[in-house]
Structure 1
Amino acid sequence: MTMMTKSPDRSALEQEQFLEILSREEALARFEAALFPRGILSEARKLAAALGAALAEDVVASVDVPPFDRSNVDGFAVRSADLAPAGEGAPVRLALNGEIIHCGTAPTLQVVAGTATPIATGGPLPRGADAVVMVEHTQPAGLDAIDVRRAVLPGQFVSYAGSDIARGEVLLRAGTLIGSREIGMLAALPR
């Protein structure tokens, strides 16, 4: 028995060149395309459902927090210059304005020389006042006045507008995992 064998096709035996030289730019473009083949999926969530999620974009504060100058303590909104001479042996008497400022209460009366306005922690500082004296450092002097036995500095016990979060500040960066701290920061911003 005789067999005929076909001679091999030389073109099939030749190896195709596998080495291709790329420019730096082309290599980087291919590398980035392989790493990031598509955009990151994102979805809007309610704040209560955001725990454990990652931010898709930076969060920038649209407002100052707090939005107004506020008291850090329960006490009296005062002009610090009025209390410069105050001391244990030489109290300064201030007349009380006819309002009490609580959280959420907008002041209507200005603090002028020789007066003070009762104010609760978190209450907005009235015009004219530049400090708060703690209630513990005062003594009632009848129904409409207090004696203050301690001087205060301008800005004492006051949180200024934007002191927690300033408008335009980047609060959280894209990719940040949302935990309880981040929930608190986001809750302070308007929706």
Structure 2
Amino acid sequence: MVEEPRAGLRERKKRQTRLALSTAAIRLSVERGAGNVTIEDIAAAADVSVRTFRNYFSSKAEAIAGMHLDRMLAIADDLRGRPAEEPLWDAITEAVIAHFAPGQPEADHDAQRKRVDAIRLMLTDPSLQGELARANDAARTAVAAAVAERTGTDAEQDLYPKLVAAAVGSATAVATEHWLQCEPGAQVTALLREAFDRVRAGLPVP
């Protein structure tokens, strides 16, 4: 068996640690309320030291927003890897959907509703909103660069890749926000696909 190069192994472990910290931050904030969670709690839940936490994130809010940023950066990377002959909006839709694969639905709808309500409450935290805004800025830049590569445009000078990146971010945000307001059992992937289909069609009046 071929061993993974040491540099590649280090990067993979760093990604795993970052994901573990972000996952723990979100889970604890949903379970307890964001105001009742400390950096020490998050580090302990991820089985790392507080010093390690600070190597990855400067705050609890940044750790929570980190999962969203990493997901959008991964979507941009996947967009680059989609077949060159694939239509742009097909490629965008599939790249996004791949990173919102639905998990196993909860049998207890009351528990699911409580969890969704807790997520919505967490998202109202002002410090988290600031970090999410910064994450969205970084995500738009990354998606615009990927779109520019696929379309032969300039991510800095041309309007088109920036518009597409903004549309991707907005459609993703609206679909996930709508999902949080739906009855238990709704699939975020179906809402994302509908959102991108409507954007692709030019948002015709219903």
Q: Higher relative contact order by CA 8 Å / sep ≥ 6: 1 or 2? A: 1
Q: Which has the higher strand share?
A: 1
- Work out which of the two has the higher radius of gyration on C-alpha atoms and give 1 or 2: 1
Alignment TM-score, normalising by the size of structure 2: 0.19
Alignment TM-score, normalising by the size of structure 1: 0.21
Q: Which has the higher helix share?
A: 2
